[in-house]
Each structure stands twice: as structure tokens, then as C-alpha cells.
Chains A and B, each alone.
Chain A
Amino acid sequence: MKGSTWHGVAVVGSLLTAVLFGILLGDLVWQGLPQMSLGFLWRTPSELTSFGGIGPELLNTLVMVGAASAITIPLGLAAAILRVEYGARPGFLLVFDRMRYTLLSLPTIVVGLMVYEWFIVGLRWPLSVGAGVIALAVVNWPFVVDVSVAALKGVPDSFREASLALGGTKYLTLLRVVLPSALSALVSGLGMAIARLMGESAVLIFTAGINVSRHWGWSAPGETLAVHLWYLRTESVAPHADAQAAATGVVLLLLVGLVLYLTQKLAHWLKPMDA
């Protein structure tokens, strides 16, 4: 159409972006696939041969992200409920909002440094799964608050008014009206939060460490998939470290994709019919 040059430019830019990500993901899969096997998923990593695996890293990723989410989902939801449903003095809310936005955008390496100074140096914890869980929780908390606030704000005020007018208390309104209506958006937002946490790495290097132990435990070192990928690509001397890094990346992406897919499906299923 005449006079739509810029629309054409935008289409070209979009194609360029699509090609860029196609190449990025294609190359990762192309280089990683030769290393992929079922054994790769459960073997322990090896510095000496190209027959290492990512078993402990896979376990650590699942356990640490799970434990961190178990801490942050209740804490984040509670803070969000205060923000949206209960409110407080304006000064308190202003400080709360500035603090959560600052923590949300804070580089995760800074969070890592703090957890390192508080727990590893201050409390003399070992570089461990436990310290890694704390670090992940600090990173995740403001994110959970953010998605929870968005989900709660999506519930129309008329729902709350109807419940209160019928004699429901604030708490019952929250429990029986607001939370069920927000559940779908909440699940989808929390899925994003968990997916983001799985790829987190900067915060973990000096809290969970870049090793795995033969014996799993909360105080054993807890390298995750994302950290392992970084380690393989920067410090490892193992043969075919590149390809192993790519294969680790493919597994990590599949895991992130699985979390997103399942939570989106669940969110869709939970969506109220009339909404």
C-alpha cells in the first residue's frame, strides 16, 4: 500500500529478529544434539573424558528452584496481598514499591555478593545447595511480588464490592472471591518467575559453587545447569566442552520450556469461563 514504507521496514526488522533467534537456537541444538543421550542426563560430569553427564546439575536445578519457590511464593503473595488488597499508609507503600522495583532490577551478581558476604563469610556457611536456595529466593521474591500484584490488580473491583456488600469480611472476600479469580493469572505469572529462576546463574557462582558432590546434601556444593554451562564454556578443560555446554543448554531450554508450557496450560484450564 502507498505510504506504508515504515510498515515494510518494520516487517524486515521483525524477519531479521526471527532469523537471529532461529540461528541462535538452531546452532545450540545442532551443536548439542551429538552429545545428547539418556546417559548424559544422569551421569556425573567428567573433566577427563567426553563421557560426562549432567545428572547432579539436573537434580540441583530442580531441588534448588523448587525450594526457593516454596519460600518465595507464600512470602511474595503475602506482600502483594498487602499492597493490593489491604493497603497501608501511603509512605509505607511508596517505600515498599521503590524497594521492590529496585530489588527487581538489581543485577543478580549484587545479590550474589550480598548472600556471599552475609552467609558464606558472616555465618561461615559452605558454598552449598542451602546458600544457593537463599540466594535464589532473594532474586525471586520481588519477581513473585510483581507478578502477584499484576494478577490481583486484574480482578475487577466490582467483585470485591459485591462480596463485601453481601456481608463477607475482607479475609473471606480475599479467600473466596479475589484469589480464585486471580488464580489463572497468578499461575501463569509464577510460571514465568520459576522459568526465570531456572536460568539464573550469576547469583549462584559464589553461593552454591561450581562443583557437585558425590553425596547430595543441603551443605554439599550445588552447581546448577546454568552454572555448569557457564563453567564448561569458560573454565573447563574437558574434551568437547563446547558440545557438552550446548547439550546442557538444550536440556536447560527444554526444562524452561516445559515449565512455561505446563503453567500456561494450567492457567488456561483455570481461567473462569466468563472472563
Chain B
Amino acid sequence: MTVHQKNLRTERVQHALFLAAAALLIALGFAFWGTLGWGALRFFLRHGLNRTILGLRYHPIRGQFGLLPFIIGSLAVTLIATVLAYPLALSVAITATMVLPRRWLSGIRQAVASLAAIPSVIFGWWGLAMVVPLVRNLGGGTGFSVAAAGMVLAAMIVPTLSLLAIHAAMRVPERWVEGSLALGATPDQTLGRVVLRSIRAPLVEAGIVAVGRALGETMAVQMVIGGQTFMPRSVFAPGSTLTSEILNDIGLLPPGALGHHVLDVMALLLLLAMYGLVLLVERIGGREVG
């Protein structure tokens, strides 16, 4: 056998191995869909779809499994976090790419990337140390609240969002900025009508990634939201999210207990939400797929 034939044979084996790894990842994904789908189906057959998704009362011991308070809680903290974090992240990106000297950019990117690696429990710790007392003073009550969770999440997603916004802003060709300024546009007009306008798609995509992270965060939220299972009456009232409720209930609803599969329903809702966000990013076209 010649060396070339040997190489070709090695190549076929390699190819098969790579294909197997990719297929295994797909299989893992389907295992998630299958397990959660099957568990949720069994739950719905017994407890009803609408009564679960739209139910207001969550009381497993009485057999009430309304998940609406958690769905609303998840959406509320995500909304608060995104609304608070987006302006800050955009400011960081504009400052880093358009105000400060270009030679600082790689240093800033590295610093922001390091901040993005801060573990979420540390944000939770900070939330307990500072945000909860702050909310207590602002809105009364204990301070453990939807608002506190939203603020902690906002701080958590700022680095990721800034990094993505910086990457987007770096894609704007220098010539466009210079051209706009040369035509007499003020820096503000250039920023609004040339820079931000040309990177709308990646900025929206960054927002979707941030929403995904906020929606999926468990620990930092669970530490400060208060864990109340009924609908929060205001943002300063304690609440719960789908993620924090799964964490609270895995221990309380062991397999075999009535309603154990409500955990699968909550997890399936999160899986569906993430899949929806992936399709949304695909539609916007910021990310190539296939």
C-alpha cells in the first residue's frame, strides 16, 4: 500500500469519527426534546394544558399546577434586565469604538470579555449584598423582588451585550464614518444615521442573545427574587421564574411524587423559548446557518 492510499484510508476513518461526533450532538438535542416532551405530554394528559399554562395557582400539594405566575415572572425579569442593560452596553460600545483612541480597543475588549466570565453566583452574592437592600429602601417590603432580580440580571448581561455591540460597531468601515463627517454631518448625526443604522441587524441579534441569557439564568435570580409562587402584584413584590422554580422544586417533587412532571413542562417551555430565539436570529440573518 502506498503512503497516499494509507492517507486516504486514515481520512475515511477520520471523517466517520467527525460525523459521529456531530451526529451525537444532534442525538443529545433530540434526547432533550424527547424526554421533556414525553414528560410534559403525560402531565398535560392528566392535568390539562390550559389549566397548567394559564393557571394562576401553584400549589403542588393541592394538585394545582398553574404556571402563569412563573411565565410572567420570567418575562418581567428579562424585560427589566434588557431595558436596563442595553443602553449601558451601547454606551460602552460607542465609547470604546468611537470616543477612545483605537489602540485601547483590544485592551477594552479583553477587559469586557473577562467581566463576561464572572460566574453568575457572584452576581447573586452582589444582589444580596447591595441590590436587595437598595430595593428595600426604594420600594419597601423585604427587597427580595422581581425588580431586584431584573437589576442583578442587567448587571450580569452588560458585559456580554457590550462585547457583541463592540464587535458589531467594529464592522462599520472607517471610510463611512469619515465620509459622513466630510459631508458635514455632526458626530451625533454620523452615529445615529450611519454607524448604528448600518449595524441594526447585529445589534438586534445581540439583544436576542442577551434576552436568552437573562431568561435562562437561574442562580442569580433564585438568590434575590424571593421565591413566592403567586402572581407578583408589583415589581417590588417577590416572585418566581421558570428557572428558579425548577431549582426550588426538584427536591420537593421527586420522581413518583404527584406532579413531578410539571418540572418537565417548565423545562420544555424554556427549551421552546430558546428554540424560538434561535429561529428568530436565523430569520434576521445575522448568523449563517446550514
Contacts and interface: CB of A to CB of B under 8 A. Distances in A.
Interface residues of A, number: 93
A180 interface: no
Interface in B1-49: 4, 7-8, 10-11, 14-15, 17-22, 24-26, 28-32, 35-36, 39
B22 A83 contact: yes
A256 B250 contact: no
B167 to A, nearest CB: 11
A200 B216 CA distance: 13
Contact of A3 (B19, B24, B188): B188
Interface string A242-260: 1001100100110011001
B275 A102 contact: yes
A26 B271 CA distance: 36
A107 B74 CA distance: 12
B163 to A, nearest CB: 11
Contacts of B270: 106-107, 110
A109 B117 contact: no
A99 interface: yes
Interface stretch (B51-59, B60-68, B90-98, B228-236): B90-98
A7 B191 contact: yes
Interface stretch (B125-133, B135-143, B171-179): B125-133
Interface stretch (A51-59, A138-146, A158-166): A138-146
Nearest to B267: A110
A136 to B, nearest CB: 13
Contacts of A145: 25
A115 B287 CA distance: 30
A14 B126 contact: no
B218 interface: yes
Contacts of B88: 13-14, 16-17, 20
A102 B25 contact: no
B217 A107 contact: yes
B189 to A, nearest CB: 7
Interface residues of B, number: 92
Nearest to A11: B95
Contacts of A117: 35, 39, 255
B18 A105 contact: no
B11 A171 contact: yes
Contacts of B187: 1, 3-4, 6-7
A153 to B, nearest CB: 10
B8 A205 contact: no
A92 to B, nearest CB: 8
A108 B122 contact: no
Contacts of A141: 25, 28
Interface in A125-148: 138, 141-142, 145
Contacts of B28: 99, 103, 138, 141
B119 A110 contact: no
A73 B276 CA distance: 28
Interface in A86-123: 86, 88, 90, 92-103, 105-110, 112-114, 116-118, 121
Given A11-B91, A107-B218, A245-B125, 18 more contacts: A13-B87, A75-B21, A82-B15, A98-B279, A99-B30, A103-B32, A105-B274, A106-B216, A106-B270, A107-B243, A113-B246, A195-B117, A199-B117, A199-B120, A226-B219, A233-B125, A257-B114, A264-B110
11 contacts: A13-B87, A17-B158, A27-B129, A78-B18, A100-B29, A138-B28, A201-B121, A205-B247, A253-B118, A256-B118, A256-B119
